[in-house]
């Protein structure tokens, strides 16, 4: 985002967890108003501590279940690092991952695509015209399925440091 030299009036972080994405947006001054949501009370407490520690005063943090929330506003920027590990993949994850992340932050308990389908369905309700949506995906092998989910939108991919497609960018 920083390389695009674009700032946003409002941003939404879906499934904020410890608040990394919302905090990065705040510290890089990419948005003036940031909303961070997570269904986990523990995650909200951790995120709030992180926001206070880094003096990020433009982030509002709420406990909310993305699948059961009615948004009363739209955002210029929406970001998410959703649970993308399928239940079968989760069973095979090493304990070094499982022991340090809550299960609900890693897997949707199903195919690994539940959040992507819901986010796609919610785009008209949460993203302003000319808005930008950035979502992390798990593995390169999931790229084609993610493209099918978002096929009605214009998108492009961003690579991680290992040159794997890792972020899908959707513009409305």
**pLDDT band for position 139 (cuts 50, 70, 90):** confident
What SS3 state is found at 162? coil
Secondary-structure breakdown of the chain: helix, strand, coil percentages, each rounded to the nearest 5: 35, 30, 35
Token couple for 66: 């993305």
- Per-residue pLDDT of 35-44, as tens digits, reads 999 999 999 9
Token couple for 45: 């407490």
- Per-residue pLDDT of 45-79, as tens digits, reads 999 999 999 999 999 999 999 999 999 999 999 99
- Separation of alpha carbons 159 and 166, rounded Å: 5
Residue 57: per-residue pLDDT: 92
- Separation of alpha carbons 172 and 168, rounded Å: 13
Is the pLDDT at 119 greater than 70? The verdict is yes
The gap from C-alpha 70 to its chain's centroid, in whole angstroms, comes to 17
Count the neighbouring beta carbons within 10 Å of the beta carbon of residue 108: 20
């Amino acid at each position: 985002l920083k390389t695009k030299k674009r700032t946003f009036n409002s941003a939404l972080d879906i499934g904020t967890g410890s608040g990394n994405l919302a905090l990065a947006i705040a510290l890089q001054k990419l948005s003036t108003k940031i909303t961070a949501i997570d269904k986990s009370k523990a995650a909200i407490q951790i995120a709030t501590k992180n926001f206070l520690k880094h003096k990020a005063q433009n982030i509002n943090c709420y406990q909310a279940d993305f699948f059961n929330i009615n948004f009363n506003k739209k955002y210029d920027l929406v970001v998410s690092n959703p649970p993308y590990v399928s239940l079968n993949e989760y069973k095979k994850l090493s304990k070094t991952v499982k022991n340090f992340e809550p299960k609900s932050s890693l897997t949707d308990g199903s195919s690994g695509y539940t959040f992507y389908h819901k986010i796609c369905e919610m785009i008209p309700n949460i993203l302003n015209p000319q808005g930008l949506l950035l979502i992390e995906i798990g593995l390169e092998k999931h790229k084609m399925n993610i493209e099918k989910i978002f096929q009605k939108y214009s998108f492009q991919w961003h690579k991680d440091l290992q040159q794997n497609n890792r972020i899908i960018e959707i513009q409305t």
